[in-house]
Amino acid sequence: MVLTAPLATLPLSAAEPFIIVQSTTSTQNSGLYDAILPLFTATSGIDVRVVAVGTGQAIKNARNCDGDVLLVHARASEQAFVADGAGVSRSDVMYNDFVLVGPADDPARLSDTTNVAEAFAALAQGETPFASRGDDSGTHKKEMSLWQNAHVDPTDASGAWYRETGSGMGATLNIAIGMNAYAMTDRATWIAFGNKSGHKIVFEGDEALFNQYGVIAVNPERCPAVKATEAKAFIDWLLSDAGQGAIGAYQRDGQQLFFPNAQK
C-alpha cells in the first residue's frame, strides 16, 4: 500500500504547454530565470523548463534535439550551431563581463596589471594556483582564448599551478576558494555566489572580458519534435521591450547582473 501510492501520483505530461531551454548555468545560478520566467509564463501561458548545464553540454544536448531553445554564451560555437543547420538564427540577448577573482592579498599582484593579457601572464609567471573550469563551457572557451592572447599555454602546467576542475562555475569557485586559487568567472555568478569567503575581484574592466549571451531556436526542420511556435514566442519575448526590461531590472545586492542588448 505504502509503495503503490507513488505510482498513481506520478505526474503525467502536463496540460500546460512547455518548452525546454538548454542553458548555461550563470543565468540560473544568479537567479535571473527565477525572476523573469514567471513574467513570460504569465503572459503566454507557456511554461519554460530550464536545463542548466555548461554551454558546451547545452549545445551538445540541443544538437541531439533535446531542447527547443538554446541560451548560452560562446558566440563562435553559437554561430557554428546555426551554420550547421542545428539552429535557426542567433540573436544577442544581453551581456555582462568576466572578472578574475582571487585571494584578498592578491599574491600575483593582478590588481597592478593594466590589461587582461598582462594579468594572465602574471598568473603564469608567478605560478600561482589557478582553478580552470576545464569543461568546454562558455567560460572555459573564453579563458582559453585569453591565455592564447597572453601567449601562455597553461595546460603545460596542468596539475601543477594550473588546476582543471572539470566542473561547473559554482563548483570551480568553491574549489578555488578552498585552495586559495585564482579563477575566472562571469560577474553575475560571482555577485550571487554565497561562499566568497576571503576571495574578491582582483581584475576587471578589460574590453576583452566582454561576455555576450545569445539565444537560438533549435531548427524544427532538423528536429521535428521541436515546439517551434512556443520557442519563437519565448525568443520574441526575450528580445521585446518587456523581456529586455525584465532582464535589466534584475538586481542582486543592489547590482545589475545582466545588461540587455537585443537589436531593435
Partner 1 sequence: MLEIGTAFSAAFGLIIGLDADLIEIIALSLQVTLTAVLVACLIGFPLGALLAVGRFPMRNALVVLVNALMGLPPVVVGLGVYLMLSRAGPLGVLNLLYTPTAMVIAQTILVTPIIAALTRQVIEDMNIEYDELLRSMGTGRLSQMQTLLWDARYALVTAALAGLGRALAEVGAVMIVGGNINHVTRVMTTAIALETSKGELALALGLGIILMTLSIVLNATLMGFRRTAERMAYA
Kind of pairing, strands 18-23 and 47-52? parallel
Pick between residue 215 and residue 223 the one whose CB is nearest to partner 1.
223
In sequence order, what are the residues at sequence separation of 6 or more whose Cβ sits closer than 8 angstroms to the Cβ of residue 126? 107, 108, 109
Q: Which of residues 59-118 bind partner 1 (CB under 8 A)?
A: 61, 63-66
In sequence order, what are the residues at sequence separation of 6 or more whose Cβ sits closer than 8 angstroms to the Cβ of residue 177? 195, 196, 197, 198, 199
Backbone phi and psi for residue 86, each to the nearest 5 degrees, phi listed first: -75, -30
Binding mask 223-242 for partner 1 (x = CB under 8 A): x-x-----------------
Window contacting partner 1 (CB under 8 A); options: 105-113, 137-145, 166-174, 251-259:
166-174
Residue 54: Cβ within 10 Å count? 25
H or E element at residue 31: none
Pick between residue 23 and residue 77 the one whose CB is nearest to partner 1.
23
109 beta partners: none
- The nearest distance, CB 243 to partner 1, in angstroms, is 19
- The nearest distance, CB 128 to partner 1, in angstroms, is 22
- The nearest distance, CB 2 to partner 1, in angstroms, is 8
- The nearest distance, CB 152 to partner 1, in angstroms, is 28
Pick between residue 19 and residue 122 the one whose CB is nearest to partner 1.
19
CA 139 to chain centroid, in Å, comes to 7
CA 66 to chain centroid, in Å, comes to 18
| Binds partner 1 (CB under 8 A): choice among 35, 39, 44, 51 | 51
- The nearest distance, CB 166 to partner 1, in angstroms, is 12
Q: Which of residues 179-198 bind partner 1 (CB under 8 A)?
A: 192-197
Task: Name the residue among 245, 236, 191, 188 with its Cα closest to residue 52.
Answer: 188
Which residues lie near partner 1 (CB under 8 A)? 2-7, 9-11, 13-14, 20, 25, 28-29, 33-34, 49-52, 61, 63-66, 168-171, 173-174, 192-197, 223, 225
